[in-house]
Amino acid sequence: MFQQGAVTLLRVRGVPIRAHWTLLLILPYLALALSSQSSEVAELAGVPTAELRLPPIVWGALLAIGVFASVTVHELAHVRVAMRFGGRVRSITLMIVGGVSQLSRMPRVPSQEAIMAAVGPATSLALGGVLYLGFAASRGAPVDLQLGLFYLASINLMLGLFNLVPAFPMDGGRVLRALLAGRLGRERGTRIAARVGTMFAILFGLVGLWSQNLMLLLVAWFIYGGAQAEIVQEGMHNALHGLRMIDLLPRLRTAMPVIASDQPLSSVLRRMRELERLDLIVLDPLGAPLAVIQASDLDAFSPRSLSTITAGELAHRLPIRHAIVRLDTTANEATEGAAEMDAEYFVVVDPRADEVLALVAASDLAKAVVLRKLASRIPLETAAHAAS
């Protein structure tokens, strides 16, 4: 959900920092909210408002940008530590609820996850402290600078403290999950931390409704949805534990869903009808996968174009939808690799024979998770029935 509608602003150490379209909604709201509070904040800072040169709305806009710059620094701290512990980071997305670091591979050691989670609030608190020292040392400087330093220092301190609330999947909740995982196991720790997060989400939602606070309602929605998503993700990771891609092939393999790159698109349609599936792997002359064609890719072509354009020509226009995985790759490794590439499919290859063996969709892994959970219950139920 975070990738759709987001544009890349810049890259830091190869990690794209993206702005979600919802940022366009929150920035004006935040600018107005901050500008309306400028007199109160100036009074707290001991700054004479009469000497301010910038209009309140300009102050609000600049501070709103400063808030999201602070959030970016907070998220970059997570990224730096995650990468140091072997985590793999896809992107940082700035959106209506703040910043979200998307990791395709999380540190699995509880102590490492706790450090990774705690470093974000620690960075915000440290940045707030530095800005406050700058404010204290800026007496005699332009009043606008003093107010800006005080405002951003206060915001960073609040950001750091708020993120320490043990509401999973916020930073404090991730620290709680890491502590629980060390004693109870990761899946059980995730469920308990998610329940705590759900309770906080309900509390924030009720307070947001009572006070008509839009931001608090959005935070409540984010926490609730994030907690449920983490439960699903952790359950899938555990269900796939020990499962390799080769274990999926006996259930999935029928006729090979491939088409040669020199074949016209009309042949692609015929092949799809033959196999009764809506996706095919395009192979180059050496048998290497070029792309995955979906039936919807052919909708824009006229009957004449279907006969003149080849599968290879279309493949070069398509985005990369597949990750190439070896036959002996674990299902979890394949999932993490696909997540890094935003891939919808796994092209399973046999490295010994240099041969494409199967095209596996993400939905196939979801089915494998359900079937494995059902299979794990059968012996227990059978044993209980026999005992009765």
Active-site annotation, residues: 75
Q: Where are the alpha helices (DSSP H) in the chain?
A: 23-36, 38-45, 56-84, 110-136, 143-163, 171-184, 186-211, 214-239, 245-252, 265-275, 303-308, 311-315, 331-341, 362-387
Buried b (16+ CB within 10 A) or exposed e, 43-66: eebebeeeebebebeebbbbbbeb
Backbone angles phi, psi at 15, to 5 degrees: -95, 120
Residue 70 CA to chain centroid, in angstroms?
19
Please name the residues in contact with 265: beta carbons below 8 A apart, sequence gap of 6 or more.
298, 301, 305, 306, 307, 309, 310, 311, 314
State the Rg of the chain over Cα.
26
Q: In which order are the strands placed within the sheet that holds 355-361?
A: 322-326, 345-350, 355-361
CB atoms under 10 Å from CB of 188, counted, come to 13
CA 27 to CA 10: how far, in whole Å?
19
Please name the residues in contact with 383: beta carbons below 8 A apart, sequence gap of 6 or more.
none
CA 217 to CA 207: how far, in whole Å?
8
Structure tokens at 304: 């004449």
Q: Hey, is 207 helix, strand or coil?
A: helix
92, 93, 71: which is closest to 20 by C-alpha? 93
Q: In which order are the strands placed within the sheet that holds 15-20?
A: 6-12, 15-20, 88-95, 98-105
